[in-house]
Amino acid sequence: MKIVMFEDADFHLLYPLTYLRPVFELRCGAFTLREKVRNKFPDCALHLETREVLADVAAETYGPDAVNGERRLAPDDDVLLVNAGAILTSPADAYRARERVATARNGCIIWAYLTSGTVGDMAAGSAAEAAARAAERLGTDLCDDILIRYPWDLITHNPSQIESDFNAAFGPGIEGHLDQRAAVYGDMEQLHVGEGARVEPFVFIDCREGPVVIGPGAVVHAHSSIHGPAFIGRDTRLLEARIREGTSIGPACRVGGEVEESIIHGYSNKYHTGFLGHSYVGEWVNLGALTANSDLKNDYGTVTVYLNGQPADTGSMKVGSFIGDHTKTSIGTLLNTGSVVGIMCILVGGAGVLPKHIPSFCWYLNGKRSKGMGLGAALDTARAAMKRRGVELTGAMEALIKYTEELTRPEKMAQVKRDRKRAFR
């Protein structure tokens, strides 16, 4: 059997998190959605199908043959078509028991298992098309697997996914250094310290409510605390941080202050005091000292989030912020409940709580949105930030950023003009 992970037409519902990455690269628990499928089916060839505009960037990571390859739907093997937003929760053998198209309650296809003969009969041009045709031909069944449709879905499922990933991929063990003066409260069988990781004296780790994973090369500095379930990625540093339950931090981050039920994708900094709750932070983000977000309305009502500029009721009472890649905040930046901040924004605090929606490539300064210093300056800043971690801004990624700036420019300029008119009233 081979596997094809495909993006469907609703990738835009996960903006701004999916401007610069495919849906299957989003993180939930200890792994990205792609890594979860890879771990479940380690012996199967894995093909990736994504938007054409992302193909060159994805190919740099996985190789050109793995991304939108011509052979992904060749009728040379049975195939499991997996939605890029899927989290498959059943044992691996359950997905190849019979030909089947599995959907969520809203009718979206989560996965489809097809024999090679059926794949050949479909003659589809894409995995998404093949799955849709299979649904018409075979009918559909409801399943209990998870489908990530909105940014807040990642936060909702993160605590249980940390626990699931701990059991499936880690388990208990101290491979790195756990100082004898660190305190572990609860069952040591719920703690994993990876190779080369270091937990310093006077760290408090609470495993009573769920497992804690500290990845390879990570450093937990003195006076930090971690409450499980929690995942600390490789080469990340915690600096007198208070990591509350349900938090995942990806690779090479620098994190201090309080973080609760949030995901920091990777290569981002929240070095100083400040609160981050029920939020998803992209890559190469820097949250300045005393940056804080609200994740609960004063009336305890459900939180509205602006998706692509349109309000959407999350149905949840606890929703924080969704912050796109390469965005930076100044000291004292205050983010409202359910805020959405695009990629490559500059947010300067000091003028009260910011608007709930900041379009990509926008500056927020002196209480209003502006178009900032331009794309060239934004790219220079990105290169400088990435160079500090030994990472290069490739030509493919630069081209993708330029495309995204053109795509989002009308939304940005509409907000800028609106704020200008308001200033002259």
Query: How do residues 316-354 score in pLDDT, each as one tens digit?
Result: 999 999 999 999 999 999 999 999 999 999 999 887 899
pLDDT of residue 423: 62
What is the CATH number assigned to the segment(s) 152-423? 2.160.10.10
pLDDT of residue 409: 95
CATH 3.90.550.30 matches 2-149: yes
What residues of the chain score a pLDDT lower than 50? none
The pTM of this model reads 0.96
CB atoms within 10 A of CB 63: 11
Residue 26: name the closest of 129, 168, 143, 158 by CA: 158
CA pair distance 410, 215, nearest whole angstrom:
41
Encode 31-49: b = buried (16+ Cβ within 10 Å), e = exposed.
Answer: bbbbbbbbebbeebebbbb
Residue partners of 384: CB distance under 8 A and separation at least 6 = none
Residue 186: name the closest of 157, 156, 170, 207 by CA: 207
Let me know: does 234 contact 196? Beta carbons within 8 Å: no
Hey, which residues does 5 pair with through a beta bridge? 48, 82
CA pair distance 9, 24, nearest whole angstrom:
14
Give the position of tokens 């794949």.
119
C-alpha 339: how far from its chain's center?
A: 16
pLDDT of residue 424: 62
Encode 164-189: b = buried (16+ Cβ within 10 Å), e = exposed.
Answer: bbbeeebeeeeebebeeebebebeee
Let me know: does 10 contact 108? Beta carbons within 8 Å: yes
pLDDT of residue 308: 85
Domain residue ranges in the chain: 2-149, 152-423
Hey, which residues does 79 pair with through a beta bridge? 2, 114
